[in-house]
Structure 1
Amino acid sequence: MALIGVAGFLHETNTFAPEPTPMARFVEADAWPGLLRGAEIAPATRGMNLAISGFIEAAERDGHCLAPLLWCSANPSGPVQREAYEQVAGELEAMLSRQPALDALFLDLHGAMVAQHLQDGEGELLRRLRRVRPGLPIVAALDFHANLSPAMLEHSDALVAYRSYPHVDMAETGRRAGAMLRRLLQGHRPHAALRRAPFIIPMAWQSTLAEPAAGLTAAALALQDEQVWEVQFIPGFPLADIHDSGPSVLVYAASAAAAERAADTLYTQVLRARDAFRGTLYSPAEAVSRALQRQSHMLVAAPAGSRAGEPVCGGPNAVEHMNAGNAATPPSHAGHTVILADTQDNPGGGGSGDTTDLLHELLRRGARKVCAGVVCDPGFAAAAHAAGAGAVLAHPLGAGSGIGAAPLPGPYTVMALGDGRLVGSGPFYQGCRMDLGPMARVRVQGLDIVVSSRKQQAADQAMFRHVGAQPADYDTLVLKSSVHFRADFAALADEILVVAAPGLNTADLHTLHYRNLRPDMEIL
């Protein structure tokens, strides 16, 4: 039995986003808990699809004692403010220094954190913690989009990254980290081998539900055996303009020779797959035209009494107020919906979650039976709550960031209201007790819009059901997400179109001006 310190500090930094990330973003809750300290950590994260949840579960099962320190995360956004980084890092250093009896340390990290004064947030954090406790075994869980640096490897004993995108295996990654730490505590020191590819991959084409990432992930798993413990393909986060940005192959094995062989094998396959990391981006006009065309060829039977152009979850007078619970499970029919992924306004990549270009195009074309979300506009949500369910609201919606088109004018009918406290039910946000602030579902013409007060990517159907919208009942869904939505929404889809409307989560990396990449790096 060992005494293991447990901590986490997560941020995926989009260095092209103009607004820095302050400490307040780490303190407040969103889809994940707000800042946690000490004994708060285990109960607040238990049952969630988070690496720290999986690690705690594994450590308790192995009979270890835990010393929880601090855990916090913030939604992807601009560089972490210097003061915020130093506050959290300093507190972690102080906490670790007060735990001289620790046998090991587990860290829940992202791997693509950039601060205003540091390109390699995780590498520097690991260096500082290693300085506090030289020789202490340190294992960290990382995101699938981690940008691995030599410093991260130097100051840790093992780094274990998610294998999936959508990240449905975050808790499982924590359990894998627990297995690596078990080996360390038994005296088995892993040998690491790192390879870094000379290109960066757009986020939309990194999904492990499609090739080539699916095949590379399978190939990595096939290389593991009793001597080769972890073989990982880690595509990196391309919106971090730093020296270490890009895909990696990382292997841990019982011997250096075994690690190097496995790394060479997988790295060769990554290089061969280079030209397959591509896909089609649609403009808003192209996407809406294609969606309307497909719908014109689909005959979707509506329940008796429903009107054409209205979602069957409620006609124009079906207004309701939803509380902290989720609405009922949706009907089982699936496969008729066209999904428009508003990828560049994805809050999960640093987008503001409030652009309106795609919504304007849908209204201009007279689209019906459409639901869009989740649009972040706290002022609009407050106005909807003040007006009440059933009211007609003239308040403009969205575009508070100043990106893209103007706010969407009303008038809107307030269809449903919610307090924003809900539990994720899909594979990605499974068990997450979200707090998105006051929420509303409003209707303008044939378009329903789900609005929140805190930005969060639309990756779970529970976010829609919370305000009475059943996603399966719509012909078209507009989701502010890039890939994570596929875990919970793909089964509903007849077709998924990735749309390049304005936003900070840039899909075409050639439109960006990189300054800090390694000289040999190519932009795909």
Structure 2
Amino acid sequence: MTRIAVGGFLHETNTFAPTKATYEDFVHGGGWPSMARGADVLKVMRKINVGLAGFVEEAEANGWELVPTISAAASPSAHVKKDAFERIVTEMVDGIAAALPVDAVYLDLHGAMVTEHFDDGEGEILARVRNVIGPDLPLVASLDLHANVSPEMVAHADALIAYRTYPHVDMADTGRACAKHLGLLLKTKQRFAKAFRQLPFLIPISWQCTNDQPTKGIYEKLAALESDAVPTLSFAPGFPAADFRDCGPSVFAYGRTQADADAAADQVVAIVASHEDDFDGKIYLPDEGVQHAMALAKSASKPIIIADTQDNPGAGGDSDTTGMLRALVRNKASAATGVIYDPHSARTAHAAGVGATVTLELGGKSGIPGDAPYKETFVVEKLSDGKFVAPGPYYGGRDMDMGPSACLRIGDVRIVVGSYKAQLADQAMYRYVGIEPTTEKILVNKSSVHFRADFEPIAAKLLICAAPGAMPADTAALPWTKLRPGIRLKPNGTPFTPAHSRTTG
């Protein structure tokens, strides 16, 4: 029987964010499944939208024996702490070593992990696994669409395969694609030639959405280029908030011959480059966005939905800034917003009880310039233990645990307050505290794009607002210091030089 060692270790690192990822963050998982070990990995990784779950399903259909090591993920944040990285990677690598002999290894990775001691987290993970399994065993990994792929990652893996949707509704499908490609490697006993290209400009995440052009069309053309000669081809727009050499978009192709791989990669690069002008769009200031939403809501039969994109916990924000909340209250909007991460305020609401009024310093505790706690008096409308299922297409039926949570109201604005961070990408993240999102005039979600998978069908209009937060919508606004020289800081933007200052761009 074919034996495959498997594991997962995912983190999307915003090196400019306020809070680092601890070992305990990976134990809990945030919006991801909690940490699992050994046989428990195969119990957790079933029928959910995660790369490893898709791989497990396809592998079992093939009759493969799986040897699970560890699965761990945490909400995006600043660097992964050294202790967390070493404990998890050591357990994974030791598990693979103990499983030998095996026929191959599959890893579910993100591709944009930066640790306290390694700029290229996945390059280090793949190097350590390769060192244990030797040069000949197939090693395949799935990656997030936001992967910042390095030459080292490409060198150590036999194949890297990235998601093709943002919102990421195809994570499990990507795991299945990895299993199919691994099956091809095992059947032919031949390696494919690799081609790797890095593109010359950063792409802001708000314009990476695959529901819209140009990205939708790019992936359609990419899929059409796959063939027997080029069985897998990926474009990763990158996560443009990781200050290291290999941050940015990339293309990686695997072909029967080097010429096949090179030709496919070059065609995708040319397609992406031709759309540089299109990777941009309208972003509103908080009051401007709220006022526009209120005007649209007067005649709309569905909610107007605003992305609070710069405090997206899916991009390293702490999900606690108050700029959009202040704008809603200031403009006397009828709206709901969430999730504001504030365990202290949630506990205070629980102690006061439903119907009580509480004076709080809500949110604003992550030290973001231009942001501060919002000191006001709120009505406690509903309380929750924070446990629910998120059935929408992004979370895919995942069990969620937001900890003690509350619905607070000020004026006609309702606020979801939670004790854990997770991107508001599912309608259930309103309903679990008694807010029915479909009947609200305006919804303000702490998310950039993932919310669209579940909210676009109920939206009259989507807007993007930029209140103070850890993930600037304008990538050129970040204080870059380590990028590779010459990469443009945004589409058609200023090229980076090592002496680049905070004021340039």
TM-score by length of 1: 0.91
- Alpha-carbon displacement from aligned partner over 1:81-122 (angstroms, at most 9, x marks no partner): 112111112222222221122111110000000011111110
Q: 1:438 maps to which residue?
A: 404
Q: 1:343 maps to which residue?
A: 309
Structure 1 counterpart of 2:352, which letter? A
1:18–1:413 Cα change, 3 Å = closer
Question: What SS does the aligned partner of 2:8 have?
Answer: strand
1:423 to 2:406 alignment: no
CA drift at 1:80: 1.0
Q: 2:350 maps to which residue?
A: 385
Question: What SS does the aligned partner of 2:6 have?
Answer: strand
Q: 1:160 maps to which residue?
A: 161
1:18–1:355 Cα change, 3 Å = closer
Q: 2:365 maps to which residue?
A: 400
Q: Decide which moves more: 230-239 or 53-62.
A: 230-239
Conserved? CA contact 1:428–1:460, under 8 Å: yes
Structure 1 counterpart of 2:154, which letter? L
Matches of residues 285-300 of structure 1 in structure 2 within 5 Å? Answer: 285-296=287-298, 298=299
Matches of residues 245-394 of structure 1 in structure 2 within 5 Å? Answer: 245-296=247-298, 298=299, 336-368=302-334, 370-394=335-359
Conserved? CA contact 2:307–2:444, under 8 Å: yes
Q: Aligned partners of 1:518 and 1:299: how far apart in 2?
A: 47
Q: Aligned partners of 1:344 and 1:292: how far apart in 2?
A: 21
1:171 to 2:162 alignment: no
Q: Aligned partners of 1:102 and 1:436: how far apart in 2?
A: 39
Conserved? CA contact 1:461–1:488, under 8 Å: yes
Question: What SS does the aligned partner of 1:86 have?
Answer: helix
Q: Aligned partners of 2:92 and 2:296: how far apart in 1?
A: 54
Q: Aligned partners of 1:520 and 1:408: how far apart in 2?
A: 41
Conserved? CA contact 1:167–1:484, under 8 Å: yes
Question: What SS does the aligned partner of 1:427 have?
Answer: coil
Question: What SS does the aligned partner of 1:491 have?
Answer: helix
Q: Aligned partners of 2:31 and 2:108: how far apart in 1?
A: 16
Question: What SS does the aligned partner of 1:395 have?
Answer: strand
Determine what percentage of the aligned residue pairs are the same residue: 46
Structure 2 counterpart of 1:445, which letter? G
CA drift at 1:408: 2.5
Conserved? CA contact 1:166–1:483, under 8 Å: yes
CA drift at 1:400: 1.7
1:464 to 2:430 alignment: yes
1:72 to 2:72 alignment: yes
- Alpha-carbon displacement from aligned partner over 1:240-297 (angstroms, at most 9, x marks no partner): 111011111111122222111111111111111111100111110110111122223x
Question: How many residues are aligned here?
Answer: 487
Q: Aligned partners of 1:73 and 1:257: how far apart in 2?
A: 37
Structure 2 counterpart of 1:201, which letter? I
- Alpha-carbon displacement from aligned partner over 1:119-155 (angstroms, at most 9, x marks no partner): 1110111111111110221110000000111110111
Q: Decide which moves more: 189-198 or 445-454.
A: 189-198
Q: 2:475 maps to which residue?
A: 509
Structure 2 counterpart of 1:207, which letter? C
Q: Structure 1, unaligned stretches of length 5 or more? A: 301-335
Matches of residues 29-44 of structure 1 in structure 2 within 5 Å? Answer: 29-44=29-44
Q: Aligned partners of 2:280 and 2:225: how far apart in 1?
A: 26
Question: What SS does the aligned partner of 1:129 have?
Answer: helix
Conserved? CA contact 1:5–1:69, under 8 Å: yes
CA RMSD of aligned residues (A): 1.2
Conserved? CA contact 2:234–2:251, under 8 Å: yes
1:459–1:122 Cα change, 3 Å = same
Q: Aligned partners of 1:510 and 1:121: how far apart in 2?
A: 24
Q: Structure 2, unaligned stretches of length 5 or more? A: 491-505
Q: Aligned partners of 2:484 and 2:342: how far apart in 1?
A: 38
Conserved? CA contact 2:45–2:56, under 8 Å: no
Q: Aligned partners of 2:31 and 2:115: how far apart in 1?
A: 22
CA drift at 1:299: 6.3
Structure 2 counterpart of 1:121, which letter? G
TM-score by length of 2: 0.94
Q: Aligned partners of 2:4 and 2:99: how far apart in 1?
A: 10
1:31–1:20 Cα change, 3 Å = closer
Structure 1 counterpart of 2:337, which letter? A
Conserved? CA contact 1:29–1:435, under 8 Å: no
Q: 2:242 maps to which residue?
A: 240
CA drift at 1:29: 3.2
